[in-house]
Structure 1
């Protein structure tokens, strides 16, 4: 077994703290268990090793509501439903079926073909609405449940989600690949990480409706920057390199800009500052100067292998923003 205690990975540490603003919250990842470098452990208390990981915090926990074909609320026990409302983000998602219709879970197409799929939903006024669209990659990841695997989604509300142990199946997003006109971002729901593929690949598509995230960054002139879209405050500054355990400890002990409740971000929070329209690096360096092409720790562990910790790589040409620590980067 590869042990992360012996791993040295170049990282950039971005610490966040929630602030009280009117913004769209980021759903919790769903993780409630805690881990050290090799195994599950009781969730640590402040001051103990590995405190500050994802399982220590539950902020805006996932919450869903089933809706019928007219948009009426159904009980959680309903056996059939047409749509699902994410009560944290307010977005409404298409439910997949197994009936051979346009909603069938096995319907797959190339990225270019998703436009016809969305048009068909809108022409039919599915659910009484004509504003269905393909989700952005960040929106699509908002329904990933990182406490689950195979599939990494709550099947009580999203049954029939196509998945595999590889990237051979997944769901398209509307987000193009910044440095390649022939690729786009998708999520394989086996483990829920973000990946890219040639636009000719045949993947599933799940429609969404609701307003897109709006907002921007605000420099607080104190070594921090606030994302007005999510209400999160981030540390600015030069990157540091350390192990995951050291990063958790550093974040928990940080006192900055009058706050002492800093923490290492979850994987979904970390992705919220990725700018998929940019490359080398895929982030706005006007707000995050010194951010280079490297790996970035999150507080979230990887359900597929307990000794992996979820990270983002902001890479030259934005080749991949991957949730998983690649084996080649793990020392033994």
Structure 2
């Protein structure tokens, strides 16, 4: 997987009160065309493992091979034993990275929050460990919730589920010589890792907004600059999360990032299917992926554009 997965599978749009509405003209996640194949084309089963065609990673088909929750170190030891035993014929078993676990999350389904038609079994609709430590709080590690899709952190001595993966990719940062990820062009910043373009001013829409104010503010931005070829939109939650660098904190952005006015947390265009009165949020201090109540003016908007 050279780039983070940038699309969600969300196909419905919702008002701030949670009522479903037609998507046309809303600026919400589901209003934009999806190009990713459906699950039956994405996942390939073979002898107790499942290969993900999006990422190239190989997962155990059994999403609970340890059978019981383990501490973070116990989970590391469990996957090390799988490597030694070449379980299922693979010797690279490990806990997933946060982004790799996040790549499995569905934003259209809950309990479990996995894509339609997935081939996995024994999926626990609770927390699963990742291999990554929180850089600000090294006694905590990241985990993902397979019931609703949140990505949070917790103490390593806590006990959560284990889903081993054998990654078969090297995440690269394409771009200019020297591996520079971001290129500044006036008021825009191009991200070579994702191909997306962000406004350099990370608070250009102006202050804390409700979710609808965030969506409407970006529609107004496009009307104001209608002579420009670039169309801005509120990013979906995967696009927002693609900015996160877990080796950094306060904010959790890559070292040397060129943005200004980076705020504490940002709205995405993606509704929480678990509770449609809420939308997905990226919290910038550590990179926590959570939700916010759409009718509260608690969060900011950061416009993004394709290409």
TM-score under structure 1 length normalisation:
0.75
Deviations 1:74-121 (A, max 9, x none): xxxxxxxx22222222222222167xxxx25x2321111222222222
Using CA pairs below 8 Å that are at least 6 residues apart, which structure has the higher relative contact order? 1
1:173 positional shift: 0.6
Deviation at 1:26, TM superposition (A): 1.1
What CA deviation, in whole Å up to 9, does each residue of 1:199-246 have, x standing for no partner?
011111212222242215221323222332222222211413233223
Name 1:43's counterpart in structure 2.
22
- CA distance in 2 between partners of 1:256 and 1:218 (Å): 25
Tell me whether 82-91 or 197-206 shows the greater mean CA deviation.
82-91
Paired position in structure 2 for 1:210: 168
- Which residue does 1:195 correspond to in 2? 152
Aligned to 1:60: 36
Task: Note the C-alpha offset of 1:321.
Answer: 1.3
Aligned in 2, Cα 1:162/1:66: closer, same or farther, shift over 3 Å? same
8 Å contact 2:13–2:28 — kept in the other structure? yes
User: Over aligned residues, Cα RMSD in angstroms?
Assistant: 2.8
Q: 1:184 to 1:307 in 2, by over 3 A?
A: same
Task: Tell me the residue number matched to 2:218.
Answer: 251
Matching of residue 227 in structure 1 with residue 191 in structure 2: yes
Task: State how far apart, in whole Å, the 2-side matches of 1:213 and 1:257 are.
Answer: 37
Partners of 1:257 and 1:141 in 2: how far apart? Answer: 37
Structure 1 unmatched runs, 5+: 1-21, 70-81, 164-168
Counterpart position of 2:139: 182
Stretch of structure 1 that moved more, 52-61 or 192-201: 52-61
DSSP-derived class of the 1:133 partner: coil
Compared with structure 1, are the counterparts of its residues 273 and 107 closer, same or farther at alpha carbon in structure 2 (3 Å cutoff)?
Answer: same
How far did residue 125 of structure 1 move?
1.9
The equivalent residue for 1:109 is: 70
The aligned residue for residue 303 of structure 2 is none
CA contact (8 A) 2:241 2:289 kept: no
Aligned length, in residue pairs: 281
Distance 1:238 1:123 in 2: 47
Q: Partner residue of 2:283?
A: 313
Between the aligned partners of 2:195 and 2:227, the Cα distance in structure 1 is 16
Map 1:61-100 onto structure 2 (within 5 A): 61=37, 63=39, 64-69=42-47, 82-96=48-62
Instruction: Indicate how the Cα distance of structure 1 residues 322 and 25 shifts in structure 2: closer, same or farther if over 3 A, else same.
Output: closer
**Inter-partner Cα distance in structure 2 for 1:293 and 1:260:** 24
CA drift of 1:25 comes to 5.0
Distance 1:201 1:302 in 2: 26
The alignment partner of 1:249 has SS state of helix
Q: Is the 8 A contact 1:267 1:323 kept in 2?
A: no
Distance of aligned partners of 1:250 and 1:293 in 2 relative to their CA distance in 1, 3 Å threshold: closer
3-state SS, counterpart of residue 291 of structure 2: coil
Matches of 1:259 and 1:26, distance apart in 2: 25
Q: Residues 314 and 302 of structure 1: is their aligned pair in 2 closer, same or farther, counting only changes over 3 Å?
A: same
